[in-house]
Amino acid sequence: MNIEEILKTLTPIVTEYGLKIIGAIIFWIVGAFIIKFIQKILTKALDRRQTDESLKPFLLSLSKKLLYVALIISIMSMIGIEMTSFIAILGAAGLAIGMALSGTLQNFAGGVMILLFKPFKVGDLIEAQGYLGIVKEIQIFNTILKTPDNKTIIIPNGGLSTASLVNFSTEENRRVDLSIGIAYGDDVEKARTLLNRIASEDERILKEPEPFIGLSELGDSSVNLTYRVWINAKNYWAVYFDLNEKVYNEFNANGINIPFPQMDVHLLNNQ
């Protein structure tokens, strides 16, 4: 086989695949430029949303890898490499891995959702999954709470991101609600005056909204008053306990009785 025959054989191949390779190189350069542009846009979007610093590098890295995988698959298809079987194998492997790590992936997805949408942040007091505590750390798989009695609670993010929770730290102000019983026959207006005075003398209790005092129930053993005051959220428990103590002391000092359940028993002497 002489040189002319070799050239005649190779020329169509080189022409066909050479053009495809050149096109693939150009496609790679353009694709890489587009990926960088998308990364910049994504970075700005994450910055605007004030995404957690521990999550931002992971999201950027993951998006970059996925975009490059898509680019490589596109280039291989452009050259003429059959990708159907490869994609099928890749999909089957991904499905198997996903089923094996379903719980872990659910917790991972939950962590991403929490860090992105921020239903709570570090330092917030929340109640979720049957636990009450201050958020100490938000990890990608778990959230760590510290309870008021100094226990550490580790909650998987999967359930935490999909179930209901109460965030006590979202609003700046909170309301303290007390139910106070006085004896039948005691002066309701006198009790109301004392409660108003207690509220006015405590600087932690806000003037607006005004304290509310209303007769809520005529109970079996007492006349029940509803006592509501607004305070700064950080003072909630201090004011709650102080109010109970002040109400008890003031009522005792001013002759207002706080009753307890009683029962009258009548004995019949049948001969």
Each residue's pLDDT tens digit, 246-271 = 999 999 999 998 887 766 777 777 65
Instruction: Give just the sign of the alpha carbon dihedral 175, 180, 185, 186.
Output: negative
Q: For 49-124, where are the alpha helices, taking DSSP H only?
A: 56-79, 84-100, 102-117
Q: Which residues of 148-167 are buried (b: 16+ CB within 10 A; e: fewer)?
A: eeeeebebbbbebbeeeeee
Q: Which residues contact 17 (CB under 8 A, 6 or more apart)?
A: 79, 80
Rounded CA separation 140/156 (Å) = 9
Show Cβ contacts of residue 109 under 8 Å, excluding neighbours closer than 6 positions.
Answer: 158, 161
Q: Is the pLDDT of residue 204 over 90?
A: yes
| Cα 100 to Cα 212: distance, rounded to the nearest angstrom | 56
Indicate the residue type of 30: V
Instruction: Give residue-wise pLDDT tens across range 107-118.
Output: 888 888 887 788
Which of 59-73, 129-143, 224-238 is least confident?
59-73
Euclidean distance between CA atoms 196 and 201, whole angstroms: 9
pLDDT band at residue 179, thresholds of 50, 70 and 90?
very high
Cα torsion at 234, 237, 240, 245 (round to 10°)? -130
Domain ranges across the chain: 8-100, 119-167, 173-253
CATH topology of domain 173-253: Alpha-Beta Plaits (3.30.70)
| Residue 202, helix vs strand vs coil | coil
Name the DSSP letter for residue 265: -
Mean pLDDT of 149-158: 91
The average confidence (pLDDT) of the chain is 83
CATH number of 8-100: 1.10.287.1260
Buried b (16+ CB within 10 A) or exposed e, 208-237: eeebebeeeeeeeebbebebebbbeeebbe
| pLDDT at 7 (0 to 100) | 55
Is a pLDDT exceeding 80 seen at residue 154? Answer: yes
Q: Which residues pair with 133 in a beta bridge?
A: 126
**Do 227 and 213 form a contact (C-beta atoms < 8 A)?**
yes
Q: What is the pLDDT of residues 164-176, one digit of tens each?
A: 899 988 889 999 9
User: What is the pLDDT at residue 151?
Assistant: 93
Q: 155 in helix, strand or coil? A: strand
189 touches 253 (CB < 8 A): no
CATH architecture of 119-167: Roll (2.30)
Q: Does the pLDDT at position 211 exceed 70?
A: yes
Q: What is the pTM of this model?
A: 0.60
pLDDT at 61: 76
**Average pLDDT of the segment spanning 189-199:** 94
